Structure 1
Amino acid sequence: MKIESLDHIVLTVNDIDKTIMFYTEILGMEVRTFGNNRKGLSFGKQQLNLHKIDEEVNPRACKPVPGSADLCLITSTPLKEVQNHLLEIGVEIETGPIMRAGALGEMMSVYFRDPDKNLVEVSNYNS
């Protein structure tokens, strides 16, 4: 077997609407409704599917809890613009910019938290 790409990751959240607002307004993702009114956040060729805590869809993770994710998202936007955008809308940058090792080599990253306190890293290979 050879894995080619990642299709989706599931985030367990406290408030789906609040999560949708954060990821669409701050990170430019698109909300997608599928299945039995389930919600996902699309970007590129991937998606974050959302499960509300205590209402998860089976099968599910063994211990789904809000705030347990650590995501690294790649952007082509210069990291300085990302920083300015986050600061303008009041998102606190926890760390960065800082050099990190990514799947394709060195990248510059900034870290911040979503409404459930998941760690979100936005990185750029070109900064």
Structure 2
Amino acid sequence: MKMRRIDHVVLTVSDLDRSRRFYHEVFDMPVLDDQSTADCLTLRCGHQLIRLQTTDREALQAKQPTIGSADLCLVVGDAIDDVLHHLKSYYVNVVAGPVEKYGAEGKLTSIYLRDPDENLIELAFYDNK
């Protein structure tokens, strides 16, 4: 079996509207209305999707969907200083970083923040990308 990539991830959130505003406005992720329902919202993140769901979603989901338990890394295409300024303009606190790390494509610099449900979001900046 040959895995090619991750297609989408699902985050369980307490308030779809609040999370939609955060991911759409702060991260500029387009909302895909044709794939969204009353208990699930789909956003485009590069070539992948992020789905936001509530705990009472009536669909196949994790055995114990838990709000605030995600830890994910998003690769950013902008300069880190521009992103830091952007986050500040939305009153989003950076909880750690910048720190140097290694990711799937090599050396990177990361900053960390939390979304409205306290999920840990790592924003990664590749040095040569």
Note the residue ranges of structure 2 that are not aligned, 5 or more in a row. none
- Aligned: 1:50 with 2:52: yes
Percent identity of equivalent pairs? 39
- 1:6-62 per-residue CA deviation (whole Å, 9 max, x = no partner) reads 10001111001110000011001011134572420112110111111222521x112
Of stretches 38-47 and 104-113 in structure 1, the one that deviates more from structure 2 is 38-47
Aligned CA RMSD, in angstroms, stands at: 1.5
1:1-127 residue pairs with structure 2 within 5 A?
1-34=1-34, 37=37, 38-58=40-60, 60-126=61-127
SS in 2 for 1:21: helix
Q: What TM-score, normalized to structure 2?
A: 0.91
Distance 1:63 1:76 in 2: 34
Aligned pair in 2 of structure 1 residues 35, 73: CA closer, same or farther (>3 Å)? closer
Count of aligned pairs between the two proteins: 126
